A and B are shown apart, each in its own frame.
Chain A
Amino acid sequence: MRHRKRCLQPHVSEKAYEVVHLDELDRFPVDDEGLLWRPVRRRLGITAFGTNAYTAEQGTERVVEEHSEEGGHEELYFVASGRATFVLGDEEVDAPAGTFIHAEPGTKRGAVATEPKTTILAIGAKPGVPHEISAWEEIFVAFGHYRNGDETKAREHLTAFVAANDDRWQGHYNLACLEALTKNRDEAIEELRRAIELDPAAKKYAANDSDFDWMRDDPEFPA
């Protein structure tokens, strides 16, 4: 699975306010290091900035994916409970509950929990421009369903995303990943071809993506 940032149109509710408790947020596992995504912005319909939470139940899991946001969001992390070790640029930061970590665009950031029941709140937006909702949220939802064992919901979600964003390679690429993971050879090849047509960079990503390992020797595999 691979995600790239692009924007989605926000759904704007008429309600003056919304309330939700952390315990009521969805729980979507999104990688092999235990990163458990709890969508906040998506649940509440926030449009002016991105907001997500990540929870580690055991206390050894990743709570912030290591990334740099080159040219992208500045991010503020808040350790809502537990404790985590952050990487921030070249430094390692011990962050007990109540710690804020601010990362400017381009600064490497990531975190691993060091106590059970650690929850990190992440707030982000790009300086100087109106906030655009990141497309990866919807892709995370689809793969969250898949990792939670609901292949049907995952496919429905991703197919709807692709239908609404047919000209974007990211949707086709991630649908190809899902089809590959669920051993649907023909559909995987078709979606990957479409992704590569839309952006040849998808070929490079597919060449290193373990989701496609079992079909890499297929003569029709396009990457």
Chain B
Amino acid sequence: MSGSAHISDLAVTFPTGSSWAMVRTNFGIESFGVNAYIVDEAGKDVIGEHDELGEDSGRHEELYFVSNGHASFTVNGDEIDAPMGTFVFVRDPAAKRRAVAREPGTTVLVVGGRPSEAFTPSPWERNAEGLVHFGNEDYEQAVETYERLLAETPGNAGFLYNLACAESRLGRKAEALSHLREAIETDAQYAANAPADPDLEAIRDEPEFSAITGQAGTAGAGS
């Protein structure tokens, strides 16, 4: 519906200190994807490394706009200095892209869509339903949400990964390791996320953890 909101009112802050403003879902936008990402410290990823080819991605062309702070983008290995006011448009869904904040409060707006096709939301965006509970540290609700999403879409790697994160936060180590294994077996990109993910702190020292995550690849955020 038509309406207005300030980015600070839309942003959900996670225990990592990173915030995500779910702009598209908040307004019910149907014709393009749009989200904003904010980090509290320099050196943190404001856009995690990813391409738009994974099963959870939208295969979108993506426009990034640095609306606050200063970021360093890397696209296909090229370094791009991106102070506030910079647009980075990644046309190729196969291009690896990442952005690191160079200042606290760096904010990147991401808009995406698939050329020549009517817009449909990226599958990963359904993760938003569960991720809001991470922001509130209500991990029981997060588990319930991902179990429901997995009942609707069995085997979805993104849902499995986030279920593992919520279970880890609740200290349910066996379930967390099992779901993490399933997520990585389905999509190897999650293996690279896991070692540095604070949500998985509780299971990181388990012998099974390194066996599960000993694969290459990355996952990230987008439009």
Point out residues on A near B: beta carbons under 8 Å. 10, 12-13, 15-23, 40, 44-49, 51, 73-74, 76, 78, 80, 86, 88-89, 93, 95-96, 98-104, 107, 109, 121, 123-131
Contact = CB atoms under 8 A, between A and B. Distances in A.
B30 interface: yes
Contacts of B88: 17-19
**How many B residues are at the interface, by size bracket?**
35 or more
Contact of B61 (A20, A46, A88, A128): A46
A45 B65 CA distance: 15
B114 interface: yes
Contacts of B63: 40, 44, 46, 51
B1 A126 contact: no
Nearest to B114: A48
Contacts of B114: 48
B118 A47 contact: no
Given A47-B61, A47-B115, 16 more contacts: A16-B91, A18-B88, A19-B89, A20-B87, A48-B60, A48-B119, A49-B113, A49-B119, A98-B8, A99-B5, A100-B6, A101-B3, A102-B29, A104-B2, A127-B119, A131-B31
B14 interface: no
B87 A127 contact: no
Nearest to A127: B30
Contact of B111 (A12, A51, A89, A104): A51
Contact of A86 (B4, B87, B113): B4
A125 B119 CA distance: 9
B221 to A, nearest CB: 17
B101 interface: no
Contact of B87 (A40, A89, A129): A40
Interface centre among B4, B7, B112 (most CB of A within 10 A): B4
B34 interface: yes
B115 A17 contact: no
A129 B76 contact: no
Contact of A17 (B2, B5, B27, B92): B92
Nearest to A81: B85
B132 interface: no
A223 to B, nearest CB: 36
A88 B3 CA distance: 8
A125 B97 CA distance: 25
Q: Considering the complex of A and B, which 9 residue pairs feature the smallest CB-CB distances, nearest first? A: A48-B113, A125-B31, A127-B30, A102-B27, A16-B92, A22-B85, A44-B89, A49-B32, A47-B115
B89 A130 contact: no
A130 B65 contact: no
Interface in B102-120: 109, 111-119
Contact of A80 (B5, B67, B118): B67
Contacts of A100: 4-7, 10, 23, 27
